[in-house]
Amino acid sequence: DTGVSQNPRHKITKRGQNVTFRCDPISEHNRLYWYRQTLGQGPEFLTYFQNEAQLEKSRLLSDRFSAERPKGSFSTLEIQRTEQGDSAMYLCASSPISYEQYFGPGTRLTVT
């Protein structure tokens, strides 16, 4: 079990630039989730996939955010025209059919 991996671990970008993060879930897990965590807060749900289908999106996920999971394996989260308010830790999790979710180490985004 190699666990959930995320890349990059850290990203510093200038306001207005686009960024893309990658998540590789545990191989046999068919559900994949994205959460955002700001300082001093718990993770907040952004979106989730079952296999390649994106089944739910939070209203936190503005039009500048898009997520994909082609072929039901890895997933990418893209943020276009980044804003300073996008600075946060972006966490990916995966789960089997049951409800327990296993989290990756996160990608910390800093928008300057």
Partner 1 sequence: AQSVTQPDIHITVSEGASLELRCNYSYGATPYLFWYVQSPGQGLQLLLKYFSGDTLVQGIKGFEAEFKRSQSSFNLRKPSVHWSDAAEYFCAVGARGSNDYKLSFGAGTTVTVRA
Tell me which residue of 94, 56, 51, 48 sits closest to 71, measured CA to CA: 51
Q: Which residue in 1, 42, 84, 85 binds partner 1 (CB under 8 A)?
A: 42
Please report whether residue 99 would count as binding partner 1 according to CB under 8 A: yes
Q: Among 48, 61, 75, 79, which residue interacts with partner 1 (rule: CB under 8 A)? A: 48
The residues binding partner 1 (CB under 8 A) are 4, 6, 31, 33, 40-45, 48, 55-56, 58, 91, 93, 95, 98-106, 108
